[in-house]
Amino acid sequence: MGGISDFRHFVDSRVHGDLIVRAHTHINLLGWVEMAIFAGVYYIVPRLVRRPIYSMALVKAHFWVHNIGLVGMVLLFSIAGYLGGNASYHESLEAAEAVVTPLLAAMGIFGTLVLLANIIWAYNVFRTCAGWEKVHVTE
């Protein structure tokens, strides 16, 4: 991100330009680190407890809900940073805030999807570890 001086200046000097950095941070932490941890736990836990994962349907739901939430967060952070940065250049600080506020509120909805996905993951891992009735749920 810092290789292009005009872009670096925009991010560093404009009000709300730092939201672009937050988009970059979230895609790295939620899109790579967190998903790698989830994959590792999905792989290791069933082997430790010697039974299959509680629900593959929940694994799929977790994946899609998490990634939809992540993409929404990253897009809205980036759009808010760009629009807020441009608005701060041409308009007042209050006008820039008015542009960014609804985008960040919508971003919160996508963040809630990521949280919901994490809860789905934790429930699925908990049920795998705690066991379940004799009928295994696999779909």
pLDDT of residue 18: 76
| Cβ pair 99, 87 in contact under 8 A | yes
Which of 94, 95, 65, 96 lies closest to 82, judged by CA? Answer: 96
**Token couple for 96:** 């820039």
pLDDT of residue 92: 84
Element (DSSP H or E) covering residue 65: helix 56-90
pLDDT of residue 85: 83
What are the residue boundaries of the structural domains of the chain, listed by start?
5-130
Angle CA 82–84–88, to nearest 5: 120
pLDDT of residue 54: 94
Segment-wise mean pLDDT, segments of 10 residues, the chain, 139 residues: 61 69 84 95 94 95 97 93 84 86 94 97 95 57
